[in-house]
């Protein structure tokens, strides 16, 4: 476990995980993201990947499960940066690694995370900012989300790309059930928490919430099936979690194109999820590659 505030912490964790097609299919069913690069072997074979690849949010889900195991079920994920440098293919075994970065301050701790493929390349890299149990508020709690750093250095274009224009939006509504939380925990390897209707004794307040990766999965669904649509390749995602999401409560997610780079076939989209009370649950920005979008 980590040290007290102000104490330098050298904590490293490492876990292994293998993804099969069943895992991709189960996450697609949970999130709605049935982008064919994840679930259709014939489609994926025609893309640059050659075979099906893991959802970015599935990788994030597995990282989140490890963070929960290491830091405790009530350590709330406050902020997340994600980069997906390379694909994680079906039937690959990967290593999830993490290390505390710097010193915990004001109840927040930063954990550098990465997911390493068999050849040593990265499938995921990022920083998780966690709010520790018993703390409230924290540095940067009211700061607006920062835009993602662009890939490359050429000037952005305001023009269209494959029929997309600045300001295009896609939205969805979703109610996650307690049974969905059970299925999620079984998928990510936290099946021991899937007792009863998904809330195990001692699971804590965090265990009663819709997990961050399922909230992020709403964005994955919209990006991979609606805008830009099938064939979309997730490159980066920034997320700031502002309010809790609970099962049996409606969530409303939206993505909006805020930048188009025709030369690189890159699209930036603002991502926002609210609850039925119009509170912002999560917000941020995504960067996607659309070269395989028809």
pLDDT at 190: 56
Q: Give the C-alpha separation, 140 to 163, whole Å.
A: 37
Domain membership flag for residue 294: no
Residue 215 backbone dihedrals phi, psi, to 5 degrees: -65, -50
Domain extent for 250: 12-133+156-289
How many domains, the chain? 1
In tens, the pLDDT along 1-14 reads 444 444 444 557 89
Ranges of residues in the chain whose predicted pLDDT is under 70: 1-11, 134-159, 190-207
Q: How far apart are CA 103 and CA 123, in angstroms?
A: 27
SS3 category, 169: strand
Whether 25 is covered by a domain: the verdict is yes
Write down how long the chain is.
294
Asked if residue 107 belongs to a domain, the reply is: yes
Q: How far apart are CA 40 and CA 61, in angstroms?
A: 21
Give the separation between CA 228 and CA 170, rounded to whole angstroms: 9
Question: pLDDT tens-digit profile of 79-134?
Answer: 999 999 999 999 999 999 999 887 777 788 899 999 999 999 999 999 999 987 76
CATH of the domain at 181: 3.10.129.10
Q: How far is Cα 128 from Cα 207, in angstroms, rounded to an integer?
A: 18
146 assigned to some structural domain: no
Task: Kindly state whether residue 142 falls inside one of the protein's structural domains.
Answer: no
What pLDDT, on a 0 to 100 scale, did the predictor assign at position 133?
72
pTM of this structure: 0.84
Angstrom distance (rounded) from CA 182 to CA 293: 33
CB distance 113 to 96 below 8 Å: yes
Q: What pLDDT, on a 0 to 100 scale, did the predictor assign at position 294?
A: 81
| 191 is a domain residue | yes
Residue 22 lies in a domain: yes
Dist. CA 232–CA 255, nearest whole Å: 14
1 in any annotated domain: no
């Amino acid at each position: 476990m980590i040290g007290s505030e102000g104490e330098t912490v050298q904590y490293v964790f490492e876990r292994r995980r293998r993804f099969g097609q069943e895992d991709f299919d189960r996450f697609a069913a949970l999130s709605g993201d049935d982008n064919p690069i994840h679930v259709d072997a014939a489609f994926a074979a025609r893309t640059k990947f050659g075979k099906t690849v893991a959802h970015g949010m599935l990788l994030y889900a597995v990282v989140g499960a490890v963070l929960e195991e290491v830091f405790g079920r009530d350590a709330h994920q406050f902020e997340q940066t994600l980069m997906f440098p390379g694909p994680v293919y079906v039937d690959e075994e990967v290593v999830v690694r993490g290390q505390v970065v710097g010193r915990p301050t004001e109840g927040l701790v930063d954990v550098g995370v990465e997911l390493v493929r068999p050849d040593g390349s990265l499938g995921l890299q990022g920083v998780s900012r966690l709010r520790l149990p018993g703390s409230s508020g924290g540095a940067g709690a009211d700061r607006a989300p920062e835009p993602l750093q662009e890939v490359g250095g050429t000037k952005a274009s305001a023009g269209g790309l494959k029929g997309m224009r600045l300001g295009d939006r896609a939205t969805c509504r979703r109610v996650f059930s307690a049974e969905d939380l059970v299925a999620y925990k079984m998928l990510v390897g936290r099946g021991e928490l899937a007792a009863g209707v998904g809330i195990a004794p001692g699971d804590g307040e965090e265990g009663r919430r819709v997990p961050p990766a399922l909230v992020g999965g709403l964005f994955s669904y919209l990006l991979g099936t609606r805008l830009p649509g099938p064939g979309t390749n997730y490159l980066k995602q920034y997320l700031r979690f502002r309010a809790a999401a609970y099962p049996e409560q409606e969530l409303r997610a939206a993505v909006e194109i805020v930048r188009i780079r025709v030369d690189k076939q890159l699209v930036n989209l603002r991502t926002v999820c609210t609850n039925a009370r119009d509170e912002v649950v999560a917000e941020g920005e995504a960067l996607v590659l659309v070269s395989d979008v028809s």
